Structures are given as C-alpha cells and as structure tokens.
Amino acid sequence: MQPDIRAQQMEHTRPGSDQSPRLIRGVLRWVRVISTALGWFGVAGALVMVLFIVVDVIARNLFGLSFLLTIDFTTYWLMPVVALCPLAAAQFRGEHISVSALTARLGARGRRAVRRSVLCLMLIVVVLLGWSAWDIAIDKMRAGESGLSATWLPIWPARFVVAAALTAWALSLFACIFEADADEASTHAATPGATS
C-alpha cells in the first residue's frame, strides 16, 4: 500500500501533470489576463490615435487650425501604447514573427530546444529593457518631463506605460517558457518508454 501512495505523491508534484500547483496555474492565468488586457489597451490606443489625427487633419484643412496637443499626445502617449502594450498578448498567441527555415530540418526535440533557448534569450533582453525603462520612467517623473510643443502636457507617465508593457512581456515570456517545460514533461510522461 505504501508504494501506491508514494507514486500518487510523485504524480502530483510532476511539473507537467494536470495536478500542477494551483498557485502556478493561477499566476499563469493572471499573466494571460493582464497580457490580454494590455493588448486591448493597445487597440484602444490605436483607435484614439486615429481619431486625434483625423480630427487634426480635418481641422487643419477645413478651418486652418492645428492642435499642438496632437503631435505630443500621439508621439509620447499613444505610440508607446500602440507599439508595446500588445506584445505580451502576441507572445501568448504565438503571433510574433518566426523563421522556421532554420529549424525545419530539426526533429521535435531540436525544435523544442531551439524554442526554449530563443525564449530564454528573449526573456533576458526584455528584462534588461524593462529594467532600463523603469529606471528612465522614475528619472523622468522626478524631472517632471513635459511635451515639446504642448509644454503643459506631462509626458512622464507614458514612460511608466513602456515599463509596464515590457514587464508584462517579460512575464508572458516566463510563462511561455514554463508552459513549454510543462508541455514537454507531460508529453514525455504520456509517451510509453520515453527517455530523456
């Protein structure tokens, strides 16, 4: 009877099993939710940017008016939202550009190793970028950075959007690495006679 209990305990602690720790699954779920929300935030930013630009162009051509706010607001506030916020969601959905010509001739194990290596390298780069972005955001907040043409417009809060988007991307990369390891472990465990 004792060996059966030991086998069940081993099954519950295996990383790829369906009984993986609830905390880790919960964290992965929240990272996915945050990434998706940031993706939709990026979509909303694109719509607002289009609206600002269209209104500015119409006002300039029909009435000879140009809004100073448009350039600074779209450049410093909306572009970071549009460019960076959807990156974490794209990571989860596998929508980043990939070149399979280099890995097409590899076997399944080789492709998994290359994928994991690329994800780890990306994680290192994105963590370094995020770290730098947080440092810059704090410095710009202390300096009270404002727009060039609309000097009354504070633009330092947008620096925190950049830092948060890069942090979410780093978390999604970490989650993808963890999920890839869990998938490999469960595939390995499900394959009879599989060896490492």
Over residues 32-66, the pLDDT tens digits come to: 899 999 999 999 999 999 999 999 999 989 988 87
Q: Where are the domains of the chain?
A: 21-95+107-184
| pLDDT band at 26; cut points 50, 70, 90 | confident
pLDDT at 155 over 70: yes
Please state whether the predicted TM-score (pTM) of the whole model is above 0.85. no
| Long-range contacts at 150-156 (CB < 8 A, ≥ 24 apart) | 150/68, 150/69, 150/71, 150/72, 150/73, 153/69, 153/72, 153/73, 153/76, 155/72, 155/76, 155/77
What are the strands, taking DSSP E only, across the chain?
none
- Would the pLDDT of 11 be above 90? no
The per-residue pLDDT for range 93-139, each reduced to its tens digit, is 888 887 788 788 888 888 888 889 999 999 999 999 999 999 999 99
Per DSSP, 147 falls in state -
| Bridge partners for 146 per DSSP | 154
Position 190 scores a pLDDT of: 53
**Helix, strand, coil distribution of the chain in percent, nearest 5:** 75, 0, 25
- Average per-residue pLDDT in the chain? 82
